[in-house]
Chain A
Amino acid sequence: MYFLLLGVITLLVGAVLTVVLPNNRVRVAVNLASQAIACCLILTETMPILFGGTALSTVLEWSYPIEKINLRVDALGAYFLTFSLPMTFLGSLYAVGYLAHDIRGPRHVGLHFALLSMLQFSYLIIYTVQNAFAFLVGWEIAALSAWLLVIWDHRNQKIRFAGFNYLVSTHLGLLFLVSAIMIMHGETNSFQFLDFQEFLRRPSIQRNIAFVLLMTSFGLKSAFFPFHSWLPRAHSAAPAHVSALMSGVIHKAGLFGMLKFILMVGKPDLWMGWYLIGVSVVSAFMGVLYTISQRDIKRLLGYSSTENVGIAGIGFGMGCLGLATDQPVLTALGFGGGILHIVNHALFKCLLFYGAGAIYRFTHTIDLEKLGGLSKVMRWTAPLFLLGSFASAALPPFNGFLSEFILYLGLLQPIPELGSGRAPLLLVIGLLALVGGLSALSITRAYGLIFLGVPRDPHYVDPKAKENPYMIAPMVIHLIGILVIGFVPAMGLRLVEAPTQMFLQLSTAPDTHLSEHVPVSLVQSLTLISAVFGAILAGLLILRFAVLPRCDRRHVTWGCGYTAANARMQYTGSSFSHPMVTVFWDILTYLTREDLPKNVFPKDGHYDTHCVDSVEQSMFKLLSDGESVVTRIMRRIPEDTRFSCGLGLASLVLWVMLISLR
């Protein structure tokens, strides 16, 4: 515990120094050093816990109204800390490259880096405290620092708007969280999680309400559909490392909250599992559906986060079903797969966002329709982005596949208690398959348009631009993580063993070991497949390039007889996703701006299509049409009270009273 507190002090001192020291270079160096030291100190505490050590706990005496804060680092908290801290450090390292221009310039970048330290501090609060009050404080520190980080380019009005949008949304989530905590506080007269746990273990209506409120709040934090509308704006506005950290690390706190409170609930009701699965399935599907039609790379990646938290959520829902029906295998596979997907998503999503940032620094645009052919100039970013995309589409042998594979195994697990009620779980298999197909489409589109072909708009390629090693290094480190988990699934399973064990112990004897239910051999066969595939590919490569004739001349791409083809005639992003978009036309919302050439001597015309968020669109529509909607509803209530209306109102009041009094 001392190392942990020492780490916190290092972080805070580092943050203060970063702001007060003169000269940007010194500030950044001090900040990175303090973050690195703090990470090492804290990881020496958390790693042993993650790999089977006992949980640490201590009590901090505090003044009114909290009085005492119980700190406890259990396996779940240790898991989140173990990936959050180093990844945030890598994000800060990336920022050195991304903000290189500002660091050289007159602007004070210390504040930005200090906020990154504050983020680290907020994880330490959220993932360790056992007190609702302190938890809320940590939650708020994370939200505010993320907001301030997003509006780094605050001179741009669009970015300020995105920032405020984020701030409002995240506080809407806080509202749900506070109301849930108030319910639990009202029932237990305490802010301690231990007391909450006692209350949550007893089935009651209040517990159900609290559960739904909590899941809504955490869903908003993690950008589950339909609470994701802040996400694409915030992600596209923020600097690349902030988008990466928000998507990969900061908003994982929402998933942590879900897991934490499921642990407190202990044995969830069956409906809780189905509720989580339902919400997550919709998230996964809607998230991926939006990725196929985005023009902005960072918006695309943002929607892909909604998809991936949905996939993790399916795992949590399955785990809850397993707990509710006493199926330890299902519990282990559901929570194991879901928890592993959190880290997998963090790894590849940060990598992809860093790639998007590198593209932005290279070309000053992240509009897919203007890019192209970058794989010939961005020698490092192109392959890194490609491999990250494979992981994101859950293709073997990369890490994304491992967690999805475990989830598939869970979905295929027989549940005798449910009988034919298991059919919906099989439908989830079909849906996950569709999600996989759609994400393959969207990443092919993204990589193909950005890196392949020739530049669609040559003036966006800066001939002087170079790739920055500070930006490449974090990407390479993330890729190593992706490959290790992908090729050695046993490592991935080892990583989630202790946290999954915590859930397993809720239903079975405390000494049951995870490996009794989920043997490592289950996933080791994936190594076999990777090996077989690798061997075949290697053999074919040798055969192809050593034996068969090699290419000795090049020619222009076959234009089907047309010889004046130019770069603008390549397939565009909108046309690439068009066949799929027409299939789901009724769900997606498109804005079209057109000024078509008219008359005999037409002037310049233009035609623009943008896929916009339908949730956000309908929200704005509701706000603007709100008055007329209210008027329309009110008009239905007659002015002179009629018998039926009065009776209806009276019975409604009675019902509400009956339910609340029960």
Chain B
Amino acid sequence: MMFYCLLVFHLAIVLIAPIFSMGLINRVKSLWAGRRGPRLNQTWFDLVRLLHKTPVYSVTTSWIFPIAPLVILATTITASLLSPIVPGFAPLGFRGDFVAFAYILGLGKLFLMLGALDTGSAFEGMGASREATYSALAEPALLLGLGTLAWASGSQSFQDLVMPDGSWFNDIALRILIGVALMVVLLIESSRVPADDPCTHLELTMVHEVMILDHSGPELAIVQYASAMKMTMFAGIVASILNPFSANSGPLSIVLAVICSVVLISAIAIFVGLIESVTARLRFRALPLFTMSAFIAVLLALVVTAGNQGVSP
């Protein structure tokens, strides 16, 4: 019974929250700029409008182009089923599932890039090249961070990783360090400021948006929805790492954990909106250093964990 309740909650967050988290980000940006801003569910209407349009493909494209958005969405949904939103619960869980999580997302990214290259446009090639570079540099931080959690928690399944069993100091240090690292990964992977600017209008400066320049109608809607879903998924992971409650104890704890996660995801969306309001996108040259910051946070977490595990005999 509890399992099904959590499952419904998980699916609801995965499928619906992307719309509202986008709305929240846009609302924060508007308020900051002194405007009223669109409705919180405006993204929904945008997507529906796009889904009704007839797409136009480029004459250069092959069969990859119409397939790519669907693969991207399918990989994102599959990855969301593997990742926790509430600590201790993910619909699909097995040993080493976070490795599968990272690689399935990789498959989606690959199709995004191939779809961009399929149009033969120099701008889209540029976007694909940047996406390939920065996401490859963010990958070690993601997997090493989760691997460190696995060592600290003595578990190898994504849903249980997020409950370290060390002393409270180690526990808090670990949560904060990995949380910071994954927050950086979130900004890079979901193409937000300062890694990328979703609102820019100059093709030369974009990463994600330039890859989908030639997508229109349903294709555009699917890619944008998948992108929002990816951001919410990473927000869910960060939320479950910072969440002090877990789904493995009594019903009260579960309810608290669920509420806490929803609040944390909203807070992350607001935080992303605030970053976008107050900072500009980093120069591309500085981006590798930005990814490096996530890696260093993870290395610190590794040192904390190694120290906690005792000196080698």
Given A395-B106, A423-B302, A440-B136, CB of A551 within 8 Å of CB of B57: yes
Q: Are B311 and A420 in contact (CB under 8 A)?
A: yes
Residue interface bits A536-568, CB-to-B below 8 A is 1, else 0: 110011001000111111111111100001010
By the criterion CB–CB under 8 Å, are B78 and A405 in contact? no
Contact of B100 among A421, A451, A529, A570 (CB under 8 A): A529
Which residue of B has the minimal Cβ distance to A572?
A: B125
The answer to whether A570 and B125 touch (CB under 8 A), given A430-B143, A440-B132, A541-B70, is yes
Q: Given A420-B306, A420-B309 in contact, is the A570-B120 Cβ separation under 8 Å?
A: yes
B302 touches A533 (CB 8 A): no
- Report the separation of the CA atoms of residues A402 and B125 in the bound assembly, to the nearest whole angstrom: 30
Q: Which of A409-431 contact B (CB under 8 A)?
A: 409, 411-412, 414, 417-423, 426-427, 429-431
Instruction: Return chain B residues, CB-CB under 8 Å to A433.
Output: 102, 139-140, 142-144
Chain A residues numbered 556-587 whose CB sits less than 8 Å from any CB in chain B: 556-560, 565, 567, 569-571, 575-580, 582-583
Q: How far is the CB of A515 from chain B (nearest CB, A)?
A: 15
Q: Is the interface of B mostly helix, strand, loop or mixed?
A: helix
- Is A396 a contact of B100 with CB atoms below 8 Å? yes
Contact A551 B54 (CB under 8 A): yes
Interface residues of A (CB under 8 A from B): 372-373, 375-376, 382, 390, 393-396, 401, 404-405, 408-409, 411-412, 414, 417-423, 426-427, 429-434, 436-438, 440-441, 443-445, 447-449, 451-454, 522, 525-526, 528-529, 532-533, 536-537, 540-541, 544, 548-560, 565, 567, 569-571, 575-580, 582-583
Q: Tell me whether B38 is interfacial, beta carbon within 8 Å.
A: no
The answer to whether B109 touches A440 (Cβ under 8 A) is yes
Partner of B54, one of A394, A426, A525, A550: A550
A50 to B7, CA, bound (A): 43
What are 12 A-B pairs with beta-carbon distances under 8 A? A372-B120, A420-B311, A426-B144, A437-B132, A437-B139, A444-B114, A454-B60, A549-B218, A554-B59, A557-B214, A558-B119, A560-B213
4 tightest Cβ-Cβ pairs between the two chains A and B: A571-B125, A437-B136, A453-B120, A448-B117
Q: Which residue of the partner chain B has the closest CB to A568?
A: B122
List the B side residues contacting A579 at CB < 8 Å. Answer: 129-130, 133-134, 284
B42 at the interface (CB under 8 A from A): no
- What residues of chain B lie closer than 8 Å to A454, measured between beta carbons? 60, 120
* Chain B contacts for A426, CB-based, 8 A: 144, 147-148, 151, 302
Residues of B within 8 A of A532 (CB): 78, 81, 92
Chain A residues with CB under 8 A of B150: 412
A417: chain B residues within 8 A (beta carbon) = 313
Q: B120 contacts which of A395, A447, A452 (Cβ < 8 Å)?
A: A452
Q: Inter-chain contact count A-B, CB under 8 Å?
A: 270
In the assembled complex, the CB of A304 is this many whole angstroms from the nearest CB of chain B, namely: 15
Closest A-chain residue to B147, C-beta based? A429
**A433 to B94 alpha-carbon distance, docked (Å):** 19
Cβ of B5 under 8 Å from chain A: no
Name B309's closest neighbour in chain A (CB-CB): A420
Contact A401 B133 (CB under 8 A): no
A549/B302 contact (C-beta < 8 A), A433-B140, A580-B132 known: no
Does B171 reach chain A (CB closer than 8 Å)?
no
CA distance A540 to B128 in the complex (A): 24
8 A Cβ contacts from B68-124 to A = 70-71, 73-75, 77-78, 81-82, 92, 94-97, 99-100, 102-104, 106-107, 109-110, 113-114, 117-124
Min CB–CB distance A498 → chain B (angstroms): 24
A420 and B310 form a contact (CB under 8 A): yes
Q: How far is the CA of A57 from the CA of B128 in the complex (A)?
A: 56
